[in-house]
Each structure stands twice: as structure tokens, then as C-alpha cells.
Amino acid sequence: MTGNCLIAQSGGPTAVINNSLYGIIEESLQSPNIGKVFGARRGVYGLLNQDYIDLSLLSKTQLEMLRMTPGAALGSWRYKLNTREIDIIVAHMQANDIRYFYYIGGNGSMHVAQLIHQAARKKGYDLNVIGVPKTVDNDLTQTDHSPGFGSAAKFLATSILDMSMDIMSSPRSNRITIVETMGRNTGWLAASCALGLKDETGIPMLIYIPESPFSEEKFMHDIRKKYEEHGSALVIVSEGIRNREGKLIAEGSLARDPVGRPQLGGVASYLKELIVKEGSGLSARYILPSIWQRSGMMFSSRVDVEEAYLAGKHACYHARQGINGAMVTIQRSNGTSYSVEYGSVPLTEVAGREKLFPLEWYDADNHFVKNEFLDYLYPLIQGEVSIPMKNGLPAYQHFIS
């Protein structure tokens, strides 16, 4: 099919999201069937307002710099579309002879991609829609893991390792160190912190994930016990931990985001207060890396950077083969050394679904992960990337404003 192509990025960005963008641009610019290569500015906003940028105008250097720049270079937007707006988006695509639409995003974005795919089909407009997985949360189903997760996991594990050296400097400090990770409904990132814990430091770690109900009583009991044994402890909490009734810890005080979800980021502060109030002399402090954990490019893993890039390329290969209404998947090959293959899955099978952290990889009594998870995770954080530096800081290049 001959025509133009359109790429959009959506949702929260990652450190490697622009590698997928680069992969699609590179592949599309080489394709004889593709005319113009457009990018939608600010995700849904650009789709809705026909705000497209001609990406073929970017220089080779600009394109290459994309691979070493975190954040969504095309921009993103949180906005809930209605049916009428989906039709407007398709009409804009038709007006611009867009025949290939690539959407880099998470499970919410895959739902939007599916709606666009359906609307085009209903209209009889020949449009090829391919989703490219992207999420630090690792909660997309049907794929072994998602680009973005490995780098965020490496970021967090490194931070734990660094801070362990600091905590080791003052053993028996009577202080609980709390780290709050992202993870609205899933504990993948909180669990990843386990990689940064070295046995030889002797520092105990407790990990709390949204998949396992949180009890304040057990929490206080556990940290008191760890403290008595070791004089310090590291507590990892996913921002989305919930009690037995499914209510977010500290839910009452949370504001709402533009799509109506409670704005997280504050459970560590709540737990610190709890420890100070009920810990009989225990003290606490907390670390909240917030959006840095998804944008810390210097910690990105080479494996993740490469897979994000290849996921973008495979989106184009799939489209060329006539696959439509599907998301690229990463499948881990069997064998002793780590390798992957890129497949596809209908958007309907991933749209709006969530892959929870497997409870069989979680020891809910001791609040720690099992070795099976570490075996799964280690390959994803391997290798480093060298970021071009300028005057002591990374030389990033963003191209929209």
C-alpha cells in the first residue's frame, strides 16, 4: 500500500521511547511505498488538530541525537477521546493520505489505536495501524516485557545500590529509608529494586506492591523486627499500594489527573509519618525519584535501547507484511543465553488490559521477590549507553516545543 505515514507518542514518556520513534522513521524513510513521514505533535492533540510535523526534514544528526534523548520528542498529551473525536482523527488522516499509523504507547494508547483502526475500517478507509509497546510499568500483556521497563529498572536498582553504600556508612542509624517507585496498579518497578540489594551489605529490604494488600499493622510489625535485627532497613513501596479493601494508601488526600485517576506520588511521605508517629523512636526518610525514573537516560540499558529501536523497526516490517490492528510484541527465546523475537498480537488483546506482577514471584510473608523474577529481570538491564556530553551535562536535543 502506498501513502504517507504518521507516528505519535502517547502517555508518560520513557528514557528510550525516542529509540522506537527513530526505528520507525529510519525504516519508513527507506521504504519506497512511503511518501511523507509525519509526526503528530503532542500525541492525541496533534492527531485531533491535524498538527503534523514533516519528519523527513530532520537532519541525520538530529535523528541520531533522538536515540540519546529521553522524553517523548514528539510530545504527548493526556486526554480522553470521544467517538466523534476518533472520527475527526481518521478524517484528518484520510485528508493527508496517511496509510500507516504507528502509535508508541501503553495499554491506554493501544485502546485508542484500536478505536482508530475500527473507525477507519468502518469508513472503508484503508489504514494500517500498528502499536509499539512503551511503558516503564511493564504492564502490557502478551509481550515478555515492554521497552522502557529495563532502563527504569536499571535506574532504580542503581539508586538502591548507591544508597546502600551511603546507608552502610552509618550502620545502626535507627533509620528506615523508604523509596517510592512508579507503578499505579503493578509492582514491576518496585520489585526491580531487589536487584540493587547486595547480600554483603546486610541491609534488609521490604518490598510492597499493589498486587498484594497492604496492612499498616503488618508493615509496622515488619519494620520494627527488621530494625531490631539490623538497625536499619530499606522499604520499597509502589506508588499504588492498596489496603485489603482496594483503597489506595492515603487516597483521601489525592488530587485527580485529567483522565480522572488519583494523582499518585505521596505514599512514602505518608508511611514516613506513620513510622515517626507509631515507631517508638524509629526515624524515617524517603526518596521519591518520580518522573526521573522514566527519564534518567544515563542509566538506560543497552538491551532496552536496542529493543525499543527494533520494536519500532518491526512495526514497519509488520505493516509491510499486511499485519493490521496489532501491537508489536517481544518474545523471549528459549535457550541459555538471552535473545528475543518480535511478534505481533491483535490490539484487542492488549487494549486496556494490565499484566500484573505474578504473585508466584512474590513472597508476601517476607515482602520480597523470588529468584525467578531476578532471572527474568537481569537480562533487561544489561549494557550501558554512552551519552554525548557537553560542558559536563548530557547533550540532548528535543525538536518540538
137 catalytic, yes or no? yes
Q: Would you call 307 exposed, middle or buried from its count of C-beta atoms within 10 A (0-12, 13-18, 19+)?
A: buried
Q: Are 247 and 192 in contact (CB under 8 A)?
A: no
Instruction: Give Cβ neighbours of residue 202 (< 8 Å, ≥ 6 apart).
Output: 230
Q: How many chain residues bind a second copy (CB under 8 A)?
A: 76
According to the binding rule CB under 8 A, does residue 112 interact with a second copy? no
According to the binding rule CB under 8 A, does residue 365 interact with a second copy? no
Instruction: Give Cβ neighbours of residue 385 (< 8 Å, ≥ 6 apart).
Output: 68, 297, 300, 301, 302, 305
Cα–Cα distance measured from residue 368 to residue 371, given in angstroms and rounded to the nearest whole number: 10
According to the 3-state scheme, what is the secondary structure of 35-78? EEEEEECCCHHHHHCCCEEEHHHCCHHHHHHHCCCCCCCCCCCC
Q: Are 98 and 4 in contact (CB under 8 A)?
A: yes
**Which among 51-59, 65-73, 90-98, 352-360 is the span making contact with a second copy, rule CB under 8 A?**
65-73
Give min distance, CB of 158 to a second copy, in A: 6
Site string for a second copy, 8-47 (x = CB under 8 A): -x--xx-x--------------------------x-----
Q: Are 270 and 250 in contact (CB under 8 A)?
A: yes
Give min distance, CB of 220 to a second copy, in A: 16
According to the binding rule CB under 8 A, does residue 339 interact with a second copy? no
Name residues contacting a second copy, limited to 202-261 (CB under 8 A). 202, 253, 255, 257
Instruction: Give Cβ neighbours of residue 100 (< 8 Å, ≥ 6 apart).
Output: 1, 3, 4, 5, 6, 28, 34, 127, 128, 130, 316, 319
Closer residue to a second copy (CB): 231 or 346: 231
**Which among 331-339, 346-354, 357-365, 379-387 is the span making contact with a second copy, rule CB under 8 A?**
379-387
Name residues contacting a second copy, limited to 262-281 (CB under 8 A). 263, 265-266, 269, 272-273, 276
Among 37, 44, 107, CA closest to 75:
44
According to the binding rule CB under 8 A, does residue 285 interact with a second copy? yes
Catalytic residue among 54, 137, 139, 365: 137
Rama region for 290: left / alpha / beta (φ>0; ψ in -120 to 50; rest): left
Name residues contacting a second copy, limited to 299-318 (CB under 8 A). 299, 301
Residue from 22, 38, 52, 77 binding a second copy (CB under 8 A)? 77
**Which among 121-129, 208-216, 364-372, 389-397 is the span making contact with a second copy, rule CB under 8 A?**
389-397
According to the binding rule CB under 8 A, does residue 196 interact with a second copy? yes
Closer residue to a second copy (CB): 82 or 169: 169
Site string for a second copy, 143-162 (x = CB under 8 A): -----------x--xxx-xx
Rama region for 336: left / alpha / beta (φ>0; ψ in -120 to 50; rest): alpha
Give min distance, CB of 79 to a second copy, in A: 10
Give me the active site residues, please.
Answer: 137
